[in-house]
Structure 1
């Protein structure tokens, strides 16, 4: 950890520069990753972790440590854990030429633009090694390749040899084997799958990777990061010495994300030990190997946001793969997902070699992707049998539950037939509580089969998803402050001829409590003046609903 007492350094949010982070921000020391990589002697290591779990910062740390430069970068490690490991490890600092490539920003809608972006990323790395650009020690072919690389006139086939060629040139110049670091290698692959150019990108990446990592005599070692292990396409064909480290592996488990001790130390540094329970509820719950892990992106944002919880991680992506999964759900898989939303566990088989084109092929692929991508956590260790791998899974925390509320319940809403949706909108428009109750009961009886034991949060999400169908006529707001508290749901009309709607929800375990709980919810609307904001905006006609749920039963007070 870097920081002086009585001086609160900001958390590094979005910084992928190791030097900038340790100089200007609170840094959680992950430098022992360097020691473990050196000790392992693996030719190529692939780390698969969810997005925003510190992969890019870790790879940049490796670059700063290992790369031979004119500047003395040891100053950025002398107060870190790696420096206390001994002279053997300190001698590795600044000892290698390093190739560092990140594909994290290659996110385009077509192969032409994606390929151009990849070519520019590669060319920028060549230009970063200015020492070889005018060196007389290169042969004619190498000089020609470099010249055409700088001019951008290389063919696509020639670009697939760029990693191999740069490795050989750097080894020749420095008389030292090189280190290859490739960050977010599968970002262009995922984009190709989503946008329809998967075959083109996988072909290019296969040749590019194999050239630089397979049988490359100039390679000292390599490190790659990504979300999935893309193996069945033979992306790493013949790379027998590739070591894959995933969220299920104990080794290296503490180096991506924050451990409980690290979050406790951080909370003490900022004087917010009182927020540890809230941090745990919102951002803890991941399990890498057997180690409990917090989402580092969300924890950093939490402290920078005056310790107010929000779904920071879920807002960093459009969750396009999740939506693809939703479009292909079977009723059985949907029931399992709803069980997860209720805080329950599901047992499923896993396919850890899942590839993007087959993410939606079945339950094993869907749940494996959700696990690898950070949308699920293992509850117990995997059970290996003669017919496959099985695991018990659950949602990690409140933040991830928001993803399921927004995406899965949106899917559930779309399973409604037109008559049910029309009845729902008519009930709200007519302020007809009996019709609304009948419509909700019909929905819960026919749409899904797992409402028993559902939490208030689940029903809240369900009503938010159902109300989304009326977004062309209402401004829909959820869980906002108004009056003396936070209402559950309001629908503010876009035209003056329609009433505004306030809803408050309760979930009870016994059916006999439905009526009293619905009345309690309605009383809460009145007592806490949830209509304050609507009245301040000049809205006079406001319908108020206290709605209580028990399994597939519902009662409404209005």
Structure 2
């Protein structure tokens, strides 16, 4: 047992499983039943690419704890889903596992370079990776006899693994976490990238190499890069945020997972709060929550934005500022609730070869900044998945020098000011502008709810930060469609908006008054003036109708 061959230290899954009755834990061990079906068969080379903070390492640690013989006898999986599967005992802790954490390898390599005496031929990060694996194999007592220890510098990893297979019948489970680190951290070092791909090809392209592995599982943010140098890795089956089928339920927390988490005594949050903040990644019809954010929120007892980090923010700003084909406008529209169609098949699966808006959106989906839905014809619909991501994107957008000059920002101010001025005609006209924009038209416009999304998206840039926006809020004798309440400024008005489809603006206004949605805001804790707005869209005339009044207290 070492750092790579059958390691046992700092296993995040084992720690979570041990305290699963007390801490946030989603039982995803049925995923192991899926990998067992691929064991020693075609399709046993897997790449799972998903965003940071989406449980990549926990899943890799789960597979290690299940397959590696180093965990034998620990009863880690007792009572979990996989324990009821027919294949459970067959593979439980019966294999030798090579577990490679590329972040650790990178860190160890930096320390290695500081040493006064270096191993001959070990000059690059990839050299060091191969050297480290071979060294641990050679130091394993059961394997030592297969190698001449005096020729450690002269033997390659494929040959070492083949010797073990031929002499001892040993096959390995190969698990690599952050497989794409070299393509992200050393994005401009083409030589190092080529060395790394050649390393993987040596293991997984030739028949001799493939015969040494019962299963290979690579996880990272990016799919395997699409170019001629890496075409040799087409033996891997890839599952990504762009195309997760049939493993979509294992990419994050599902509704069923959240329902179980809500039962924890330590969870003081409502399911609606978690849904608003962290749900929204729709993968083949499944609603997926950001797992790390949910865990953090439950532990803190508060929903807030955990999606932060200087490096990630800088990367997003870099992509937006490329401004392919009006990209900045599209990003602002997405933040406000719109949809953007994009193609993903030409995406090169890297962070350097970005040639179009389609590439940017494909990368942002892989990074988790956008969700996507199938749109047919090899296209996807991009959208901002939840409140957490919307807040992060909006904060980054506001920091850019071009922000205040963007038409969508100016339009949001015009809409807010028109409502505040009780200008029904101007308000209806601006809403029509928003409705006719490409991003909103993709939503469909067949209900009062669609009109509500159009208006709240239009107001977002002017109200975000100063207002709390409530949808379907219980108020008076019913549930108001939308209410904007100022957070701390008495000079700003409360906006109360009701929507209709194919009736009339008068009908919407009458609803507000008959149900007395404004009653709680007449006096007391709310000295603000209250503006009532009734809106209707006619599918026959394609016109927006609006009535605006100030509440007389």
Task: Report the alpha carbon displacement of residue 234 of structure 1 after superposing the two structures with TM.
Answer: 4.1
- Which residue in the other structure is 2:231 paired with? 237
Task: Report the alpha carbon displacement of residue 259 of structure 1 after superposing the two structures with TM.
Answer: 0.7
Task: Report the alpha carbon displacement of residue 300 of structure 1 after superposing the two structures with TM.
Answer: 0.4
The alignment's TM-score, normalised by the length of structure 1, stands at 0.66
Tell me how far apart the structure 2 counterparts of residues 128 and 458 of structure 1 sit (CA, whole Å).
Answer: 60
- Which residue in the other structure is 2:218 paired with? 224
Unpaired segments of 5 or more residues in structure 1? 1-14, 147-160, 421-448, 465-475, 480-484, 491-500, 511-523, 531-543, 552-558
Tell me how far apart the structure 2 counterparts of residues 404 and 545 of structure 1 sit (CA, whole Å).
Answer: 31
- Which residue in the other structure is 1:400 paired with? 389
- Which residue in the other structure is 2:90 paired with? 91
CA 1:508 to 1:92, structure 2 compared with 1: closer, same or farther past 3 Å?
A: same
Superimposed CA distance per residue, residues 165-188 of structure 1 (whole angstroms, 9 cap, x where no aligned partner): 553465467532111111111122
Task: Report the alpha carbon displacement of residue 60 of structure 1 after superposing the two structures with TM.
Answer: 1.1
- Which residue in the other structure is 1:54 paired with? 55
Secondary structure of residue in 2 paired with 1:372? helix
Tell me how far apart the structure 1 counterparts of residues 531 and 133 of structure 2 sit (CA, whole Å).
Answer: 60
CA 1:290 to 1:167, structure 2 compared with 1: closer, same or farther past 3 Å?
A: farther
Would you say the 8 A contact 1:177–1:219 is kept in 2? yes
Task: Report the alpha carbon displacement of residue 272 of structure 1 after superposing the two structures with TM.
Answer: 4.8
Alignment of 1:44 with 2:45, yes or no, is: yes
Tell me how far apart the structure 2 counterparts of residues 360 and 508 of structure 1 sit (CA, whole Å).
Answer: 42
- Which residue in the other structure is 2:336 paired with? 342
- Which residue in the other structure is 1:370 paired with? 364
Task: Report the alpha carbon displacement of residue 282 of structure 1 after superposing the two structures with TM.
Answer: 0.6
Tell me how far apart the structure 1 counterparts of residues 299 and 245 of structure 2 sit (CA, whole Å).
Answer: 30
- Which residue in the other structure is 1:198 paired with? 189
Task: Report the alpha carbon displacement of residue 463 of structure 1 after superposing the two structures with TM.
Answer: 8.2
Tell me how far apart the structure 1 counterparts of residues 353 and 163 of structure 2 sit (CA, whole Å).
Answer: 40
Tell me how far apart the structure 2 counterparts of residues 365 and 214 of structure 1 sit (CA, whole Å).
Answer: 28
Alignment of 1:188 with 2:187, yes or no, is: no
Tell me how far apart the structure 2 counterparts of residues 229 and 47 of structure 1 sit (CA, whole Å).
Answer: 8
Secondary structure of residue in 2 paired with 1:76? coil
RMSD: 4.9
Aligned pairs (5 A) from 1:508-547: none
CA 1:325 to 1:143, structure 2 compared with 1: closer, same or farther past 3 Å?
A: closer
Tell me how far apart the structure 1 counterparts of residues 160 and 142 of structure 2 sit (CA, whole Å).
Answer: 11
Unpaired segments of 5 or more residues in structure 2? 1-9, 115-122, 410-436, 441-450, 469-483, 500-520, 536-543, 545-553
Task: Report the alpha carbon displacement of residue 351 of structure 1 after superposing the two structures with TM.
Answer: 3.3
The alignment's TM-score, normalised by the length of structure 2, stands at 0.66
CA 1:76 to 1:366, structure 2 compared with 1: closer, same or farther past 3 Å?
A: same
CA 1:119 to 1:288, structure 2 compared with 1: closer, same or farther past 3 Å?
A: farther
Tell me how far apart the structure 1 counterparts of residues 331 and 252 of structure 2 sit (CA, whole Å).
Answer: 25
CA 1:233 to 1:330, structure 2 compared with 1: closer, same or farther past 3 Å?
A: closer
- Which residue in the other structure is 2:380 paired with? 391
Equivalent residue in structure 2 for 1:305, among 285, 289, 300? 300
Alignment of 1:293 with 2:320, yes or no, is: no
CA 1:132 to 1:457, structure 2 compared with 1: closer, same or farther past 3 Å?
A: farther
Would you say the 8 A contact 1:111–1:201 is kept in 2? no
Tell me how far apart the structure 1 counterparts of residues 401 and 531 of structure 2 sit (CA, whole Å).
Answer: 20
Would you say the 8 A contact 1:229–1:353 is kept in 2? no
